[in-house]
Amino acid sequence: MKTVYINATFFTMDQENKIFENGMMIVQDQFITYVGNHSEELMKDAEQVVNLQGKWVMPGLVNTHSHILMTLLRGIGDDMLLKPWLETKIWPIERQYTTEIASVSAQLGILEMVKSGTTTFSDMFNPNGIDPNVVMETIGETGIRGAFSYSIFSFGTEEEQRLNLKGAEQFSKDYKRFADGRLTTMVAPHSPYACTPEALIESARIAKENDLMMHIHVSETDYEIQDIETRYANRPVEHLRKLGVFNQPTVMAHGVVLNDEERAILKEYDVRVAHNPISNLKLGSGVADVVSLLDAGVKVGIATDSTASNNNLDMFEEVRIAALLQKGMYKDATKFSAQTALTLATRGGAEAIGMGHTGSLEANKKADFITIYPFDKEHLQPLSNAYSHLLYAARGSDVCDVFIDGKAIVKDRISLTIDEEKVIAEVNRLQSRFA
């Protein structure tokens, strides 16, 4: 099916950052085939013409690190540091998890993500107590694009740890290409502190044998650095490098506590960083030095982490805070420009998680895009400087329509794939268990 979208401003987020006012985009099935100036000639054999009535169109946002199975835990464990938050709140609750709780959480998380403009995400989940097959079926039905990772923990008996690794390997293989290729997997040891060296080595083996990326929490807090140094006589980055984890393409979530030597290692091994500014602030972990990471040539994406440490999944808010933090930290407003920020939230993030086939509006890329109708929004006036508004003024709730693989997933702020009322009712029925 050839669909032509006309009468809109297209923010391509391509290498040249081209913008087409009153432009045109052509989508053939799942792919963009043209973005540029309006052309009557190119419209000739269109099967469908969509008039976007002056809307702004940009690539869907890319959330490079999330935990959608935790969405039900929003508001639980506020105002706590990471270690007690995990050990006394999150992990005990996750031990009570069921497949139903996980599926409803996933639906709520995806609903929130897509309605705020995220079309691609990379997620890690704690498999405890759940049937991941059911959860993956549910996620597949939503139409979102993403990588999903079954987490590896070195907790429990030897047999439990063996089963956890076996489950992760099976899951990684089974869902490597799922839901028409929209969903894939990564191999996710939780962190250097929750995994033994043996589990980390085994994780890297699974990733290598199945040609998958690794996804792991690293260097999130000062405490983690001291803990790993005490246990292994190396800081986390060197510890993982020595174990061979970085021999596979790796996304490391956080990277708050890094030095120059470590940034050079990340660049050398092409380790990518998922930057979670709000979660890092809320858990009191600190502020990652993203400017230095980018200066060192490290690929960086923006991420929300979970609703238990954020507490929303709005990538517009996330990327704005990311930019403001770097400017404030450096006392230099020229750092982390609007262009840098929006690139990291789209094309840069997609490349960081190995999904370079999305993240910009360009011929041959997947047709993953969002629209914003600015005309009735006070905070998006004046209409000039729209590019600036996308970073400094826009909110997730400004998103009007969402398309993934060329298909409408959200239309006029209504989800077409998720029964919103039902999910919200289910969430509130199940949530009372943890209140």
Ligand X SMILES: CSC[C@H]1O[C@@H](n2cnc3c(O)ncnc32)[C@H](O)[C@@H]1O
Query: Annotated binding residues for substrate, as ranges?
Result: 94, 190, 220, 305
Q: Which of 74, 115, 190, 275 binds ligand X (CB under 6 A)?
A: 190
Residues 94-153, interacting with Zn ion (CB under 5 A): none
Q: Name the phi and psi angles at 215, rounded to 5.
A: -140, 120
Q: Decide whether 62 or 73 has the Cβ nearer to ligand X.
A: 73
Contact stretch for ligand X (CB under 6 A) within 123-131, 206-214, 327-335, 396-404: 123-131
Give the CA-trace dihedral at 198, 204, 209, 214, to 10 degrees: 150
Q: Decide whether 14 or 305 has the Cβ nearer to Zn ion.
A: 305
Contact stretch for Zn ion (CB under 5 A) within 28-36, 49-57, 154-162, 305-313: 305-313
Give the CA-trace dihedral at 62, 65, 69, 73, to 10 degrees: -110
Question: What is the C-alpha separation between 288 and 280, in angstroms, rounded?
Answer: 8
Spell out, one character per residue from 271 to 310, where the chain touches ligand X: x when CB under 6 A holds, - when not: --------x-------------------------xx--x-
Q: Decide whether 311 or 343 has the Cβ nearer to ligand X.
A: 311
Residue nearest to Zn ion (CB): 305
Establish if 207 lies at the interface with ligand X (CB under 6 A).
no
Residue 304 contacts residue 63 (beta carbons within 8 Å): yes
Q: Is 199 helix (H, G, I), strand (E, B) or coil?
A: helix
Strands 31-37 and 19-28: antiparallel
Establish if 305 lies at the interface with Zn ion (CB under 5 A).
yes
Q: Decide whether 67 or 115 has the Cβ nearer to ligand X.
A: 67
Q: Which of 14, 112, 220, 405 binds ligand X (CB under 6 A)?
A: 220
Residue 70 touches which of ligand X, Zn ion, none (CB < 5 to 8 A by kind)? ligand X
Establish if 126 lies at the interface with ligand X (CB under 6 A).
yes
Establish if 398 lies at the interface with Zn ion (CB under 5 A).
no
Question: What is the C-alpha separation between 307 and 291, in angstroms, rounded?
Answer: 26
Question: What is the C-alpha separation between 304 and 284, in angstroms, rounded?
Answer: 15
The conformation of residue 72, written as its DSSP 8-state character, comes to G
Establish if 343 lies at the interface with ligand X (CB under 6 A).
no
Binding-site residue set: 65, 67, 94, 190, 217, 220, 305
In angstroms, give the least distance from the CB of 135 to ligand X.
13
Torsion sign over Cα 204, 287, 310, 385: negative
Residue 274 touches which of ligand X, Zn ion, none (CB < 5 to 8 A by kind)? none
Q: Decide whether 67 or 299 has the Cβ nearer to ligand X.
A: 67
Establish if 318 lies at the interface with Zn ion (CB under 5 A).
no
Residue 140 contacts residue 128 (beta carbons within 8 Å): no
Q: Which of 13, 57, 90, 402 binds ligand X (CB under 6 A)?
A: 90
Contact stretch for Zn ion (CB under 5 A) within 166-174, 233-241, 298-306, 376-384: 298-306
Give the helix/strand (H/E) hosting 77. none
Binding-site residue set for Zn(2+): 65, 67, 217, 305
Contact stretch for ligand X (CB under 6 A) within 120-128, 131-139, 159-167, 380-388: 120-128
Name, in order, each residue with C-beta under 8 angstroms of 133's C-beta and a sequence gap of 6 or more.
174
387, burial (CB in 10 Å: exposed 0-12, middle 13-18, buried 19+)? middle
357, burial (CB in 10 Å: exposed 0-12, middle 13-18, buried 19+)? middle
Q: Name the phi and psi angles at 165, rounded to 5.
A: -65, -40
Contact stretch for ligand X (CB under 6 A) within 31-39, 41-49, 90-98, 401-409: 90-98
In angstroms, give the least distance from the CB of 305 to ligand X.
5
Taking phi over 0 as left and psi of -120 to 50 as alpha, with beta for the rest, 230 belongs to alpha
Q: Which of 330, 343, 372 is nearest to 10 (CA)?
A: 372
Helices (H), strands (E): how many in the chain? Answer: 16, 16
Q: Decide whether 82 or 355 has the Cβ nearer to ligand X.
A: 82
Q: Which of 64, 151, 172, 304 binds ligand X (CB under 6 A)?
A: 151
Establish if 70 lies at the interface with ligand X (CB under 6 A).
yes
Binding site for ligand X (CB under 6 A): 67, 70, 82, 86, 90-91, 94, 124-126, 151, 188, 190-191, 217, 220, 279, 305-306, 309
Binding site for Zn ion (CB under 5 A): 305
